[in-house]
Amino acid sequence: MTIARSYLFVPGNRPERFLKAHHSGADRVILDLEDAVAEADKDDARRQVSEYLGAGGTGIVRINATEDRWLDDVLACVKPGLQGLVLPKAESSEHVSRIVSQLPSTVKVLPLIETAHGMNRINEIAATPGVERLVFGTVDFRTELGIEGDDESLLYFRSMIVLASKVAGIAAPIDGVTVAINDKGELERAATRARHLGFAAKLCIHPSQVEDVNKAFRPSDAQLAWAEKVVRLAKSSPGAFKVDGEMVDAPVIARAVELLKQGGCSSI
Q: What is the pLDDT of residues 232-249, one digit of tens each?
A: 877 877 778 788 878 877
* Domain membership of residue 209 as a residue range: 6-216
Residue 97, phi-psi category: left (phi > 0), alpha (psi -120 to 50), beta (remainder): alpha
Average pLDDT for 94-117: 96
| Cα distances (angstroms) measured from residue 166 to each of 93, 256, 265 | 17, 18, 22
Q: Are residues 53 and 15 in the same domain?
A: yes
CATH code, domain with 127: 3.20.20.60
Residue 1 within a domain: no
Bigger pLDDT: 68 vs 47 = 47
**What per-residue confidence (pLDDT) applies to 58?**
97
Residue 141 lies in a domain: yes
pLDDT tens digit sequence for 12-45 = 999 999 999 999 999 999 999 999 999 999 999 9
Is 208 within a domain? yes
Same domain for 171 and 77, yes or no, is yes
Q: Which of 213, 227, 211, 221 is nearest to 268 (CA)?
A: 227
> How many domains does the chain fold into?
2
pLDDT-based confidence at residue 256 (cuts at 50, 70, 90): confident
Residue 266 reports pLDDT greater than 70: no
Q: What's the rounded Cα separation, in Å, for the pair 46 and 190?
A: 32
Q: Quick one: 237 and 139 in the same domain? A: no
Assess if residue 267 is contained within a domain.
Answer: no
Same structural domain for residues 121 and 174? Answer: yes
44's CB contacts (< 8 A; 6+ apart) are 13
Is residue 172 classed as helix, strand or coil in its secondary structure? coil
Q: Is 175 helix (H, G, I), strand (E, B) or coil?
A: strand
Q: What does the H/E/C string look like for 111-143?
A: EEECCHHHHHCHHHHHCCCCECCCEECHHHHHH
Please name which of 150, 160, 88 lies closest in space to residue 122, comparing C-alpha atoms: 160
**248 with 143, same domain?**
no
Q: Is residue 231 part of a domain?
A: yes
